[in-house]
Amino acid sequence: MKRILVIDDDEAVRKLFLLSLEETGYSVYTVSSGMAGIKAFKEGQYDLIFLDLKMPGMNGVETLRELRKIDRDVSVYIITAFHDEFFAQLKKAEEEGMDFDVLRKPFDRKQLITATKGILEGPTSY
Amino acid sequence: MKKSQDKPVDAAALRRRAKERLKEKPAATGQPLAEADLRRLQHELEVHQIELEMQNEELQQAQAEIEAALGKYTDLYDFAPVGYFTLAGDGTILAVNLTGTRLLGIERARLLNRRFAFLVSEAHRPAFDAFLKKVFESQTQETCELALLKEGDRPLYAHIEAIVSEDGQECRAAVADITERMRADEKLKTAYAHLERQSAILAQQAKMSAIGVLVAGVAHELNNPLMAMLHFAQYCLKHTAEDDRCYSVLQDIEHETRRCIDIVKNLLTFSHSGDGRKEKYELKNPAEILERVVRLLSYRIEKEGVSITSHVDEETPKIPMRVNAIQDVILNLLTNALDALVESKKKEVHIDVHPDGDGVLLSIADSGIGISPEVLGNIYDPFFTTKPVGKGTGLGLSLCQSIIHAHGGEITCESEPDKGTVFHAFIPTQRRKGAKRDETHFSY
């Protein structure tokens, strides 16, 4: 079964991921910080990571850099409402050759399921 | 030195009169005069002649002095640095000095016996009439400033000081040219108005900037909870039977949450930190965007029975623009036009696009309810709206204005209540320097 890791400091966002992806049948795990995310990723296998950009402590870009040190290929969706301050960092990460997609907030249930299935089962499956 | 012209000395007539007077004198005794008497008489005559010559010299001297004084007076009067007018009670010009004639560019003969009021610009005539009345009534010096009609030229601005004569029959007025001062005043006023406008713009920008920061903060905070609510409602809908009484309520929750999300999206667009990615400028024909927006609104246009006509000048050039931003402007203006038509019988919108100077002018006119003059001054203020709750955030036109300003253009509005409204958006073909400054405040 495909496994998804959600890294977001907002409890409401973590919960929405759990509820909205429930019907897809994927296993969804959630953590509330970049540190906890890296720890979880080291301990388990994941096929897709949803990563919040703006978090206290280690932010999304820093977390992505650490994740890529462990695994260059795992799919990562950066969740963002586009904050100026992170955009330059995201661009830099892209220039460093780090791979990621961007899921723009706010998204609804259908958009989330489409995006998830698009990564895990190929774009034509949904 | 000229001789007195008033009473020319007629020598022959004088001699005649002298002879007549001599005849009137009592006749002499008729006895021949002795030699001694004759000599005495001759002496007396000689003395008398010298006396007369001396008197004559004195008279000539006095005459010369008078003429000199007159010359000096004439010089003082005619060449004084101000125009002097002597006016009768009804304003008739009785006398005028040379400076006065030069000020007006009208010769003395054409000024005398004319009413001074006819030299005053029409707009100032009532003021002049009141001034003259006051001068004759007050006995003290009065002043006023008027525009005078100058022959074949721009009006002359004059400062007038006048006082009535002792007998109260006439008044003397000194007229000084203050045109230069008035022009300087005018320039000063224009400069001041410009400064005031600039400071109003600066204040508005500061206000927008402050509101922008506040709004962005609030909007970002609301983003997550609203998105979560949307997902929760959608989850519940998924797990509720459609015939359940809760189902439609859940749909309402979903709908209202989406509305909140849209408001937040608008707020973020409005505030400067909405979207970190600034849209790039592209060369596009505004008519193309216009067509897209009309298509977007076609359902509503048809449903509400609005007739849309448009005229796009074939010469309309492509202009550098942020396509999505300009699309937002057109969408906003057109939506406003449709909103204005909801309650009017005549439902017409006319769109016009044509080249205008160094840019393109896009006009959207509706035959709707119009905007009252009181409201017209506030339409670009953020959060200002006349629409009912839920129909408008009051950000649309504020957003349009900041977008058009960021493009270096101008947005203007003309409106007549119950007749309709037209918005003109001008976008220059060349991006202007000023555009950069606005971008620090707004997202576009």
Domain limit, last residue, from B177, B212, B247: B177
Residue B395 lies in a domain: yes
**CATH classification at residue B169:** 3.30.450.20
CB contact under 8 A, B231 and A22: no
Cis peptide before B373 (omega within 30 of 0): no
Is B258 a member of any domain? yes
Scan residues 275-294 of B and list those with Cβ closer than 8 Å to A: 275-277
Is B38 contained in some domain? no
Statement to judge: residues B268 and B290 lie in one domain: no
Reported ipTM: 0.89
β-strand A27-31 against A3-7: which pairing, if any? parallel
Instruction: Verify that B231 and B354 share a domain, yes or no.
Output: no
CB spacing of B232 vs A10 below 8 angstroms: no
The region of weakest confidence among A23-27, B111-115, B287-291 is B287-291
Q: Measured between CB atoms, does A26 come within 8 Å of chain B?
A: no
CA distances from B86 to B96, B164, B177, B351 (A): 6, 9, 17, 64
State percent of chain A over pLDDT 90: 60
Domain limit, last residue, from B229, B252, B276: B276
Q: Which of B174, B173, B127, B121 is nearest to B148 (CA)?
A: B121
Among candidates B149, B75, B140, B143, which has minimal Cα distance to B119? Answer: B149
Per-residue pLDDT band for A87 (boundaries 50, 70, 90) equals: confident
Q: What is the dihedral of CA B213, B218, B223, B226, to 10 degrees?
A: -160
Residue B242: CATH number of its domain = 1.10.287
Residue A107 pLDDT level (bands cut at 50, 70, 90): very high
Q: What is the mean pLDDT of chain A?
A: 88
CA atoms within 13 A on the CB side of A99: 7
pLDDT at B365: 94
Shared domain for B291 and B250, answered yes or no, is no
Residue A59 is encoded by which pair of tokens? 């932010």
In three-state secondary structure terms, B240 is: coil
* CA dihedral for B63, B69, B71, B73, sign (positive or negative): negative
Give the pLDDT band (50/70/90) at residue B277: very low
Q: The domain that contains B369 carries what CATH number?
A: 3.30.565.10
User: End-to-end distance of chain A based on CA atoms, in angstroms?
Assistant: 18
Q: For residue A87, report the phi and psi dihedrals to the nearest 5 degrees.
A: -65, -40
State the DSSP H helix or E strand holding residue B54, giving kind and residue range, or none if neither: helix B35-78
* Segment among A98-102, B35-39, B258-262, B439-443 with least mean pLDDT: B439-443
| pLDDT (0 to 100) of residue B3 | 45
User: Cα separation of B45 and B37, whole Å?
Assistant: 12
Q: How far is A22 from chain B (nearest CA, A)?
A: 9
* pLDDT for position B273: 40
Q: Which residues does chain A have within 8 Å of residue B265's beta carbon, measured at their own beta carbons? A: 106
Instruction: Band the pLDDT of A70: cuts 50, 70, 90.
Output: very high
Q: Are residues B110 and B229 in the same domain?
A: no
- Residue B243 to chain A, least CA–CA distance (Å): 21
Alpha helix ranges (H) inside B307-355 = 323-341
Using a cut of 0.90, tell me whether the model's pTM lies above it: no
Look up residue A90 and give its two tokens: 């995201």
Region B308-333: what's the mean pLDDT? 88
DSSP B115: B
Token digits of residue B9: 């000395």
User: Which pair of tokens denotes residue B274?
Assistant: 């909405």
Instruction: Give the pLDDT score at B72.
Output: 92
Tell me what pLDDT residue B71 has.
92
Residue where a domain stops, chosen among B209, B243, B276:
B276
Helix (H) or strand (E) holding B269: helix B245-270
Residue of A10, A11, A84 best to disrupt the B interface, most CBs of B under 10 A: A84
Subunit contact B232:A87, Cβ cutoff 8 A: no
Query: Would you identify the CATH topology of the domain A3-119?
Result: Rossmann fold (3.40.50)
**pLDDT interval class at B342 (50, 70, 90):** confident
Q: Is the pLDDT of residue A126 over 60?
A: no
Asked whether residue B154 falls in the same domain as residue B204, the answer is no
Instruction: Please state the rounded mean pLDDT for residues B192-213.
Output: 78
Phi, then psi, of B358 in degrees rounded to 5? -95, 35
pLDDT given for residue B438 in this prediction: 39
Distance (Å) from the C-alpha of residue A80 to the closest C-alpha of chain B?
A: 10
* Count of domains for chain B: 3
Inter-residue contact B298 to B335 (CB < 8 Å) = no
Cβ proximity of B386 and B397 under 8 Å: no
Domain map (residue ranges) of chain A:
3-119
Structural domain that includes position B293: 278-444
The answer on pLDDT for B206 being more than 80 is no
Residue B58 falls within a domain, yes or no?
no
Q: Does residue B49 sit within a domain?
A: no
A6-59 pLDDT per residue, tens: 999 999 999 999 999 999 999 999 999 999 999 999 999 999 999 998 889 998
Kindly identify which residue of chain B lies nearest to residue A111, measuring between CA atoms: B231
Same domain, B439 and B314: yes
Which pLDDT score is estimated for B246? 92
Point out the residue among B228, B261, B273 whose CB comes nearest to the CB of A12.
B228
DSSP B92: B
- On whether residue B207 sits in a domain, the answer given is yes
Rounded to an integer, what distance in angstroms lies between the CA atom of residue B429 and that of residue B206? 28
**Are B425 and B358 in a shared domain?**
yes
Interval B315-344 mean pLDDT: 87
Residue A83: the pLDDT is 61
B127 has a pLDDT exceeding 60: yes
Note the pLDDT of residue B443.
34
Could you give the strand order of the β-sheet that contains A27-31, starting from the edge strand earlier in sequence? Answer: A27-31, A3-7, A48-52, A75-80, A101-104
Contact (CB, 8 A) for B389 and B346: no
Higher pLDDT, B205 or B258: B258
- Closest Cβ opposite residue B223 in set A20, A86, A106: A106
pLDDT, greater one: A117 or B344: A117
Q: What angle do CA B205, B209, B210 make, to 5 degrees?
A: 120
Please report which helix (H) or strand (E) contains residue B308, including its range: strand B307-312
Question: For chains A and B, what is the number of CB pairs under 8 angstroms?
Answer: 60
pLDDT value of residue B435: 43
pLDDT top residue among B183 and B240: B240
Q: Which residue has the higher pLDDT, B7 or B304?
A: B304
pLDDT confidence tier of residue B276, bands split at 50, 70 and 90: very low
B272 and B283 part of one domain? no
> How confident is the model at residue A105, as a pLDDT?
86
- Looking at the fold, whether B299 and B152 belong to one and the same domain comes out as no
Strands (E), B116-210: 142-148, 156-164, 170-177
Does some domain include residue B54? Answer: no
